Amino acid sequence: MSGNKWHKLKYNIQEAKKQGKDTLLTFGGAYSNHIYAIAAAGKIFNFDTIGIIRGEEHLPLNPTLSFAKDSGMKIYYLDRTSYRNKNSPEIINQLQEKFGDFYLLPEGGTNDYAVKGCSEIISKINIDFDYVCCPCGTGGTLAGLISGLNGDKYSLGFSVLKGASFLKENVQSLLQNSNINSLKNWNINLDYHFGGYARTDLVLLDFINRFTSHTKIPIEPIYTGKMLFGIYDLASKGFFKEESRIIALHTGGLQGLKGLAGKLSGQTLND
């Protein structure tokens, strides 16, 4: 269970235990890091897990879903229309009728407990810095970083989704739920989505190859690659204060790489 998903899960696991739940249910795409993390967490912390996957079954299972299944996760497919309504009372009721009682984690794992867990990332950074950056899918991780900094320094998120100005509102309302209001020391850059979620192109893939051969740090094209491309590009344009030290949070996601081989280059990796 690597990357930011552990931080997002930690207090949710505590809460699920407190509520006496023995099953975790959540949603995700077929390559989802979140699905992978919940399956692993279920095994480690002794929960049954149910993964509701967008779309139809494709056999053989990709590496993400076969890991999930081998970890004991029950996999259930929801057609794309129903999936879009996954948070509606109708769908939740259907799932309760089918699977009984469960602790529900939203797609991507973002809720107030996730923000609390991610705020602890800041205390693990033991060098001085000016900016901390992370990729944004739902904004939960960024909200945690902002909350951990509590007015100090600057947090910069990079949206991996196209046209995602709603992310700023998401983060704002997550912060409000944690009683953090009107901080100005953060923003989300919307310019490095490369066409949208799980989309990529040769420029990005070339950057990732060069980055990894230069630093020996593996990254992937869905989250960390887009953030790092953005950081390098902004730095070359003089965006950051001179002499500033920038922390780039490696949020993980490497499990997804196994299933991406052969699917790269200008295509969606989402199906």
Ligand X SMILES: *Cc1c(COP(=O)(O)O)cnc(C)c1O
| Contact residues: ligand X, CB under 6 A | 3-5, 33-34, 108, 110, 135-141, 223, 251-253
Shortest distance in whole angstroms from residue 252 CB to ligand X: 4
Shortest distance in whole angstroms from residue 118 CB to ligand X: 7
Nearer to ligand X (CB atom), residue 137 or residue 259: 137
Ranked by CB distance to ligand X, the top (closest) residue is 253
Nearer to ligand X (CB atom), residue 29 or residue 253: 253
- CA distances to 66, 88, 136, 162, 168 from 165, in Å: 34, 23, 11, 9, 6
Token representation of residue 27:
């949603």
Encode 210-249: b = buried (16+ Cβ within 10 Å), e = exposed. Answer: ebeeeeeeebbbbbbbbbbbbbeebeeeeebeeeeebbbb
Shortest distance in whole angstroms from residue 140 CB to ligand X: 3
Encode 21-59: b = buried (16+ Cβ within 10 Å), e = exposed. Answer: bebbbbbbbbbbbbbbbbbbbbbeeebbbbbbbbeeeee
Nearer to ligand X (CB atom), residue 128 or residue 259: 259
Nearer to ligand X (CB atom), residue 42 or residue 109: 109
Shortest distance in whole angstroms from residue 208 CB to ligand X: 13
The pairing of strands 131-136 and 154-159 is parallel
Q: Which residues contact 102 (CB under 8 A, 6 or more apart)?
A: 21, 23, 24, 25, 50, 95, 96
Shortest distance in whole angstroms from residue 226 CB to ligand X: 9
Shortest distance in whole angstroms from residue 101 CB to ligand X: 26
Nearer to ligand X (CB atom), residue 49 or residue 138: 138
Nearer to ligand X (CB atom), residue 4 or residue 155: 4
